[in-house]
Amino acid sequence: MSMAVVLDTGHKHWTAADRQEIPDDRNRYEIIDGELFVTPSPSWGHQSLTRELLRLIGDYLRTHRLGEVLSAPADVPLADDTVVEPDLFVVPLVEGRPARSWVDVGRLLLVIEILSPGTAHADRTVKRRRYQRGGVPEYWIVDGDARLVERWRPEDERPEMISDRLEWTPDAPVAPLLVDLPKLFEVALWD
């Protein structure tokens, strides 16, 4: 079983600059509050869920001209000692146009992690707390095995567990994105 692990390399406190020095070996490296996490490449089901969510959210954002959804691999800097690589994340438009650099982004509207057996603990604890502390308005943990989404907001002590219809309203006066979760899981996971 592959797992997200904290690497003890003798390095006391990792930074974004340190992350840039790691050679590409097809693993995913993230730094959260100075700790280095490494995760192997995702599974087929994980990638299928990523594809379907990318399509649904991308269509919604384009229709309403609200922002852009991007996917890993992408180093997303949250602080000097925190660089995450979310499975999917939404950034707002900058003056009506897609951002051209991380400096332009300024904030994340939504972060989505799709659970893998080895990432569940980090996704639900360390990363969740970091996104909440950073003020990310919504953090979704998509659990393909349980066929549900855990929705977290900055003030939440417990997630909202959603298994039927997921509704997302970004900070704009437009109709919400509606995701039929049973259909999403059926299409993505072929069952």
User: What percentage of the chain carries pLDDT values higher than 70?
Assistant: 93
Q: Does residue 22 lie in a domain region?
A: no
Q: What is the mean pLDDT of the chain?
A: 87
Q: Concatenated DSSP letters for 123-158?
A: IIIIIHHHHHHTT-S-EEEEETTTTEEEEE-TT-SS
Confidence of residue 82 (pLDDT cuts 50, 70, 90): confident
Q: Which structural domain range is residue 64 located in?
A: 43-189
Asked whether the predicted pLDDT for residue 19 surpasses 60, the reply is yes
Asked whether the predicted pLDDT for residue 65 surpasses 60, the reply is yes
Q: Does residue 3 lie in a domain region?
A: no
pTM of the predicted model as reported, rounded to 2 decimal places: 0.82
Q: What's the pLDDT at 187? A: 94
Q: Does residue 17 lie in a domain region?
A: no
The CATH number assigned to the domain holding 114 equals 3.90.1570.10
Q: How many structural domains is the chain composed of?
A: 1
